[in-house]
Amino acid sequence: DAKTTQPTSMDCAEGRAANLPCNHSTISGNEYVYWYRQIHSQGPQYIIHGLKNNETNEMASLIITEDRKSSTLILPHATLRDTAVYYCIVRVEGNKLVFGAGTILRVKS
Amino acid sequence: NAGVTQTPKFRVLKTGQSMTLLCAQDMNHEYMYWYRQDPGMGLRLIHYSVGEGTTAKGEVPDGYNVSRLKKQNFLLGLESAAPSQTSVYFCASQDRTQYSNQPQHFGDGTRLSIL
């Protein structure tokens, strides 16, 4: 079973920041949080990952709470092309990723 | 830059037929994975490999076999296809780095229908 909980769907206006939450209350100390997204019919695309510090790259920012029980993925200026299913994943058992159902993000003009 | 390449992209089989899905990566990654994705569900791990000549079972290994004879290739075989194996299959590869937990990189998938 996935170790994360995400909302089923979210809407965001084009050009605004999209904030996608994820709960991972049972995360252990050495487990990373990964975010992937899947645009219709394509393979999952890696976005960002982190352990306990906030992270930023060219695609997004990842904010992890101090107790590490939750995190938020931020797409600073969402575009229509960001419409996708977003997966928050905590690595389990070595290198295996367990995908949950994810959040359907709909960016609307 | 090719990354992870899966062949074929589409295939239709009859029940009982066999086939092999090929995954090739050009990033010199140690780890490779096969997942399946069914409608409305996340990806489920079938088999994986942590290096040339090694394979291991994932969550849903039954009905599949794999081989990793060369570092860059990971093959997924269906010996006797069943309708329940109709799915989209994704391959992924990952660099082995002890401290930084590198992400997995995915191919674009193989869409397989079993009639």
Per-residue pLDDT at B99 exceeds 60? no
Per-residue pLDDT at B62 exceeds 90? yes
CB contact under 8 A, B31 and A95: yes
Mean pLDDT of B65-94: 96
Mean pLDDT of B66-94: 96
Å between B18 CA and nearest CA of chain A? 24
Confidence of residue A26 (pLDDT cuts 50, 70, 90): confident
Lowest-pLDDT range, A13-17, B67-71, B102-106? B102-106
| CB-CB neighbours of B6 under 10 Å | 22
Longest Cα–Cα distance in chain B: 45
Is the CB of residue A44 less than 8 Å away from at least one CB of chain B? yes
Tens of pLDDT, residue by residue over A28-79, are 888 889 999 999 878 999 999 999 889 999 999 999 999 999 999 999 999 9
Residue B111: the pLDDT is 96
Beta strands A9-13 and A103-108: pairing type? parallel
Residue A93: the pLDDT is 59
Å between B4 CA and nearest CA of chain A? 10
Å between A11 CA and nearest CA of chain B? 19
Tens of pLDDT, residue by residue over A85-104, are 999 998 665 567 778 889 99
Confidence of residue A3 (pLDDT cuts 50, 70, 90): confident
Is the CB of residue A35 less than 8 Å away from at least one CB of chain B? no
Q: What tokens were used for B95? A: 């660099």
Residue A94: the pLDDT is 59
Taking contacts as CB-CB distances below 8 angstroms, the residues of chain A near B108 are: 42-43
* CA–CA dist B96, A84 (Å, integer): 28
Closest CB to B106 among A41, A43, A49: A43
Residue B98: the pLDDT is 60
Which among A49, A58, A59 is positioned nearest to A97, based on CA atoms?
Answer: A49
| CB-CB neighbours of A28 under 10 Å | 11
- Determine the residue among B106, B110, B111, B112 to mutate to test chain A binding: the one whose Cβ has the most chain A Cβ atoms within 10 Å: B106
CB contact under 8 A, A99 and B106: no
Per-residue pLDDT at B24 exceeds 80? yes
Burial code of B12-42, b = ≥16 C-beta within 10 A, e = fewer? ebeeeeeeebebbbeeebbbbbbbbbeeeeb
Tens of pLDDT, residue by residue over B32-49, are 999 999 987 778 999 999
Query: To the nearest whole number, what is the mean pLDDT of chain B?
Result: 92
Å between A46 CA and nearest CA of chain B? 7
- Helix, strand, coil percentages (3-state) for chain A, rounded to 5, are 5, 45, 50
Closest CB to B42 among A45, A51, A87: A87
Tens of pLDDT, residue by residue over A63-72, are 999 999 999 9
Confidence of residue B20 (pLDDT cuts 50, 70, 90): very high
Asked whether the beta carbons of B55 and B69 are under 8 A apart, the reply is no
* CA–CA dist B83, B23 (Å, integer): 22
